[in-house]
Structure 1
Amino acid sequence: MSHFFRLVHNENIKIYKRMGTWVMIGILVLVVALVGIFTKFVLDPGGNTDWKAQLSAENAQLTESVKSAPMLEAQKRMMKERIALNEYRIENDVAPIERDSLWGYMVDATTFTGIAALFTIVIAAGMVASEFSWGTVKLLLIRPVSRTKILLAKYASTLMFALLMLLLLFSASFLFGTLFFGLGGAETPYLAYSNGQVVEQNMVTHIIQLFGFRSIDLVMMVTLAFMISTVFRSSSLAIGISLFLMFTGPQLVQLLSQYDWAKFILFANTDLQQYTTGTPLVEGMTMTFSIVMLLIYFALFAFLSLYIFKKRDVAA
């Protein structure tokens, strides 16, 4: 086990000695800060003085769209959920979350997990492929350590970087949000649509859950990039395929949501939030089903990575 921890330590040194790693970390913090500045000093907050009238007008427009506009069933369900949420706010005097508040800002900041995923994919794509392209794989494999431990150390280091990016994103959004907007509004509930009805959730708990749910998609995409890097020994191919699937996968699932077999696609299951704040993309899906599918995909990616890495001949 001591050999394994030394390998993880060495892999982390490789990651953080690169200037590119620190540039990516700096970009993530800078983006969070710039969005806070833009929200505070540029965007018109608009205010909530007439929010009930605005929501009533929005509901009228959504209702008309549901009745007349041709759309996918998934889109229709989302609109009906939005109508129900707006009606609940009006009836119970629950104002929408202000964008120019700490909690509204942090909710918006969860979308930046896509940037964290992008940067972690870049790291994952080069973890194995770079050893082959630089010709250092032979030096790596002559150590008195099994290939399994070597590969696991690389993957563990990649996940540690992903965790660092998530913690950095959460900390930076809280820090800049507090700096720009203060700490007020924690008592405002978050409204979710679950099991056919509107429910209230604690705002802080909701934000933590958001980061947790977004991390699942991040881990799966990073694991996919790591597998492609190991199988094809190409970091550019791993980055290209992973980013293409990350941006197009959810849209593809929405287009195919009317087919029952679409629930077996990876991207139909990565967003577990669909079970806590809405309805599943494909009718009949459950959280248990999605967790099982994620475990199957994860096991498949891990098996392919380990099997091919252990069998690959690097003598040539």
Structure 2
Amino acid sequence: MAKLLKLIQNENMKLYKRLGTWIMIGIIIIAVLGIGVFSKFFMDSGENTNWQQRLEAENLQLERQLEESPFQSAGEAYVTKQIAINNYRIDQDIPPLHSQSLWGFMIDTTNLTGIIALFAIVIAGGMVASEFSWGTIKLLLIRPVSRTKIILSKYITTILFALFSMVSLFLFSFLIGSVFFGLEGAEDPYLVYNEGEVRERNMISHIIGLIGFNSVDLLMMVTLAFMISTVFRSSSLAIGVSIFLLFTGPQVTQLLSSYDWAKYVLFANTNLQQYTNGTPLVEGMTMTFSIIVLLVYFILFTLTTWVVFKKRDVAA
């Protein structure tokens, strides 16, 4: 364990000595600041004015839709949930979230996890392949440390970078949101509709949950990029393929959703929010099913990485 920790420390030192690593972190911070400036100075400040009347009008429209439209069960459940939450807001005097508030701004910035995934893929794609291209892999393997610990230290370092980026995103979004929008409404809860009843949840835990949901896609794509980097010893191939799949995989899977076998595709399962904020991509899918599918893919990617690196002839 001590040797593994030392390897992780060394990998982190190499990673954070690179100017490119800090440029990535800087871009995340600048993106958060940019969203804050846009929300503060360029969005309609009257978004939450007369919100009670707006919600009452929205409920009337939703109730009319329930009476006139033959909703499927999922659509009817969504409309019922929205009406209940709107009524609860009116009764308890809890205004809806909007971008010009601390929590609304922080929820908007959770979309930046896509940028973090992009940067983590770049790190993962070069983590192993760069050792081969620079010729330093032989120096690395002559150490009295097993190859398993070497490849594990590199993977953990990549995940730690992604985690550090996520924490930075959360902290800077809170700081910038507090400066731009203040702490007014910070005590407001997040409302959920469960078993026919509206319940209040802590807003910070909800935001952390959103980041966690978005991190599932990140984890799988980073693991895929790491595997390609190890198998083919090409950082450009690992980065290119992973980024291509990151942006096109969900769209292609959506087109294939009419086929039952599509539920076994990786990208049909990475969005776990489909079980909390909508309907499954393919009928019959459950969160347990998606978690099992994700675990199978994760084991396949990591096992392939380990076997190839373990058997790799560095002289070749």
Relative to the length of structure 1, the TM-score reads 0.88
CA offsets 1:165-213 (integer angstroms, 9 cap, x no match): 0100010111111111112223434344667886653322211211121
8 Å contact 1:81–1:193 — kept in the other structure?
Answer: no
Letter in 2 for 1:215: S
- CA distance 1:303–1:202, shift in 2 (3 Å): same
Q: 2-side partners of 1:234 and 1:197: how far apart?
A: 53
The equivalences for 1:245-260 within 5 A come to 245-260=245-260
Structure 1 vs Structure 2 CA RMSD? 2.7
> Which deviates further from its counterpart, 271-280 or 208-217?
271-280
Tell me the SS of whatever aligns to 1:40.
helix
Answer yes or no: is the 8 Å Cα contact 1:148–1:306 preserved in 2: yes
- What whole-Å deviation, never above 9, does each CA across 1:208-239 have from its counterpart, x for those lacking one? 21112122221111111101111111111111
Q: Which residue is equivalent to 1:215? A: 215
- Distance apart, 1:138 and its partner CA: 1.2
Shift in alpha-carbon separation, 1:197–1:291, aligned structure 2, 3 A: farther
CA contact (8 A) 2:85 2:193 kept: no
- Structure 2 residue identity aligned to 1:138: K
Is 2:80 the counterpart of 1:87?
A: no
Partner of 1:231: 231
SS in 2 for 1:183: coil
Name the aligned partner's letter for residue 49 of structure 1.
T
CA separation of 1:21 and 1:253: change in aligned 2, threshold 3 A: same
Cα distance, 1:274 vs. partner? 2.3
Tell me the SS of whatever aligns to 2:270: coil
For residues 114 and 210 of structure 2, what CA distance do their matches in structure 1 show? 13
Name the structure 2 match of 1:184: 184
Structure-1 separation of matches of 2:87 and 2:196: 17
- Whether contact under 8 Å (1:59, 1:86) holds in the other structure is no
Q: Using the alignment, how far apart are the partners of 1:196 and 1:258 within structure 2?
A: 30
State how far apart, in whole Å, the 1-side matches of 2:281 and 2:18 are.
40
Bigger drift between 221-230 and 274-283 goes to 274-283
Unaligned 5+ runs, structure 1: none
Change (3 A) 1:285 1:120: same
Moved more, 187-196 or 200-209: 187-196
Match of 2:269 in 1: 269
What whole-Å deviation, never above 9, does each CA across 1:233-252 have from its counterpart, x for those lacking one?
11111111111111122222
Number of residue pairs matched by the alignment = 309
Distance verdict in 2 for CA 1:20–1:185, change over 3 Å: same
Q: Relative to 1, partners in 2 of residues 1:21 and 1:111: Cα closer, same or farther, differing over 3 Å?
A: same
| 1:32 lines up with 2:32 in the alignment | yes
Contact kept in structure 1, 2:101 and 2:182, CA below 8 Å: yes
The separation in 1 between residues aligned to 2:4 and 2:202, in whole angstroms, is 41
For each residue in 1:54-78, what CA deviation from the matched residue of structure 2 results, as whole angstroms up to 9, or x when unmatched? Answer: 56469859959x969xxxx9xx888
**Cα distance in 2, alignment partners of residues 181 and 146 from structure 1:** 52
AA matched with 2:14: K
Structure 1 stretch displaced more, 247-256 or 234-243: 247-256
Cross-structure match for 1:23: 23
- Determine the structure 2 residue equivalent to 1:112: 112
CA contact (8 A) 1:193 1:276 kept: no
Q: Indicate conservation of the 8 Å contact 1:192/1:276, yes or no.
A: no
For residues 270-298 of structure 1, the C-alpha deviation after alignment (integer angstroms, 9 at most, x for no partner) is 12222233332222222211111111111
Shift in alpha-carbon separation, 1:41–1:140, aligned structure 2, 3 A: same
Aligned to 1:303: 303
Is the 1:193–1:277 contact (alpha carbons within 8 Å) kept by the matching residues of 2? no
With over 3 angstroms needed to count, the CA separation of the structure-2 counterparts of 1:78 and 1:237, relative to structure 1, is farther
Unaligned runs of 5+ in 2: none
Q: Which residue of the partner structure matches residue 48 of structure 1?
A: 48
Match of 1:290 in 2: 290
* 1:41/1:82 CA distance change after superposition, 3 Å: farther
Bigger mean CA offset, 27-36 vs 278-287: 278-287
Distance in 2 (alpha carbons) for counterparts of 1:197 and 1:250: 33
SS at match of 1:207: helix
Q: How many Å separate the matches in 1 of 2:280 and 2:73?
A: 10
1:165 is matched with 165
**Partner of 2:98 in structure 1?**
98
* Residues 84, 198 of structure 1: 8 Å contact kept: no
Change in Cα spacing, 1:198 to 1:275, as seen in structure 2 (3 Å) is farther
- How far apart are residue 133 of structure 1 and its match? 0.9
